[in-house]
Amino acid sequence: MKAPSIGIDKEAVLDFLLGHGEKVVGAVVGLGALWLAWGGIDALQSKSVKPDQRPEAILARAGEARNNIDREKTPPPQERWPGPPLTATIDPWRSPEVAPPPAGAMLNKPLFEERAKRSQPAVFPIEDLRAVAGLAVLPPGKTPPGDPQQPQPQPPQQQITPYVVVTGLIPVAKQRAEYRQRFAEAQFPQPDRDAPVWSDWIFERSVGPGFERWERIDPATMTKRQGEWAGIATDKVPDAYRLAASEEKPVTKEMPPYCGPLPQLARGGWGAAALHPWVIEHIRKQQPAATAEYRMLRFIDTDVAVGKSYRYRVQFALANPNLNVEDRYLADPATAKNKFLVAASSKESTPVTVPDETTVLVDVLRKAEPRRKTSVFEVLVLAPSMKSGGYVLRGLVTEPGGLINVDEKLNKPGDRRTRGEEVRTDHVLLDVRGRQEDRTDARSGPPEPFEVLCLRDDGTFELVSAADSETEIAEHKSTLPADDTGKGETTKPGQKDPNAGKPPTDPLFK
């Protein structure tokens, strides 16, 4: 008997699918839905959150654990952590240090040389503007050449010039970083422009006591006055604290440099007045000048008056690195129009007052000098000389209630009460503290500091101490005429000044 043959009729299968296909698909979808529903019911029954897994239960257990830890100050040995202190282990993870990407890393560069468009960098103003006022003794200045056939005038005397030295900090490191961020990967690179170049600047000052308005200091006038100086003072500021030649390109020829010169003094050096306090501290710490984040700004204002107060502010401009660049390379085409990028004005300096030309000083008398009555005291006056133009000392013996005025007519041989040229201060010696005679010995120890209280002619008070007067007296001691015992120092007519020709003393750089 032959086995029955099984054959598939394609037409029959096709007819079945056409007639019953949607029923088959519906049945499959229905079975899948039933399977999903059964899984959900099973999850609700077997995998629902248990009561001890709810947030309130977890918080309660955490609070109970904290109470147990706080209650047990000394845990048992078997519960202690055997390893190193956990604080030392965890601290490095709290603020991990991420090393910067290596220079030239392949993945740190834009793909396919995709460069950003050029934008306008921010400009950072001068920081920490400082002002120092004083009086400088300048040697005779330059005079224009005269007619050789005519008698030449007498050479000018030394001149006492009031001044204000203004210093500030130029944030070069921050400005360079800003340029690198803007242009390191920007389109249309320009090596001669993509680094900051400081151009012209503006100095303004306000005069007290009201300080109502600001007036601009003409740079051409400043440059002209520099040409009238007898010479330029030796500047001990390292070049690393100044703007480099490639970084400083003023457009105006009369514009003085950002770190301007100072006039030569008749004696001594400018010292700390010529430097910004930040530069002084940087030098004293012997830090590498090449790593300095600032460069010093400095100028001197000699168009000031004794007794007046001044404050200053500075504004500068950088050359625009996007000037005349095509619009397609710029994020904002308007940034190519201006020639300069102008910084905001610096903060105003603290007001300073130019001191009076006359200074009252006191000195301690040594044991070898003659003693006087305890009710009288010797006061020294430092003031300009009508003969030489420089500063000279005068001496006056007076008592509380007396005027500190030196009458040249009272200069008599054998009389110590008045020494030196005539000067009028109209100060009144009000009170004295301490002993003027130096009676220091090993048993009694150092004496009480010697100080005097004076009443100025304007009704204000001035406290003068021997300690504060020591530097000025030492510098000008040779100008004080000798006393009747021949103890003092003096420079007689025709005699050479013992300090002449000596190098300037500058304790800052010793």
Of 353, 371, 400, which marks where a domain is finished?
Answer: 353
Say how many C-beta atoms besides its own lie within 10 A of residue 305's C-beta: 9
Which of 239-243, 435-439, 492-496 is most confident? 239-243
Assigned domain for 461 exists: yes
Does residue 321 sit in the same domain as residue 384? no
Assigned domain for 445 exists: yes
Assigned domain for 451 exists: yes
Assigned domain for 60 exists: no
Does residue 378 sit in the same domain as residue 401? yes
Does residue 394 sit in the same domain as residue 437? yes
User: Of 386, 304, 290, whose CA–CA distance to 353 is shortest?
Assistant: 304
Does residue 298 sit in the same domain as residue 368? no
- pLDDT of 219 > 90? The answer is no
Assigned domain for 38 exists: no
Assigned domain for 76 exists: no
Does residue 195 sit in the same domain as residue 283? yes
Does residue 297 sit in the same domain as residue 369? no
> Which domain range does residue 132 map to?
127-143+156-353
- pLDDT of 504 > 50? The answer is no
SS3 510: coil
Does residue 324 sit in the same domain as residue 385? no
Assigned domain for 88 exists: no
Does residue 374 sit in the same domain as residue 271? no
Assigned domain for 391 exists: yes
Does residue 248 sit in the same domain as residue 379? no
Of 330, 353, 376, which marks where a domain is finished?
Answer: 353
In the predicted model, what is the mean pLDDT of residues 426-430?
91
In the predicted model, what is the mean pLDDT of residues 12-29?
77
pLDDT at 506: 38
List b or e across 458-471, with b for residues whose CB sees 16 or more CB atoms inside 10 angstroms.
eeeeeebebeebee
- pLDDT of 497 > 80? The answer is no
More confident position, 308 or 143: 308
Does residue 338 sit in the same domain as residue 383? no
Helix (H) or strand (E) holding 301: strand 295-301
pLDDT digits (tens, 9 = 90+) for 362-400: 988 765 455 556 678 889 998 888 777 778 888 888 889
Provide the number of structural domains found in the chain: 2
pTM: predicted TM-score of the whole model, two decimal places: 0.64
pLDDT digits (tens, 9 = 90+) for 435-470: 887 666 555 566 788 999 999 888 888 899 988 888
Contacts of 500 by beta carbon, 8 Å cutoff, 6+ apart: none
Question: How many distinct helices (H) and strands (E) make up the chain?
Answer: 7, 16
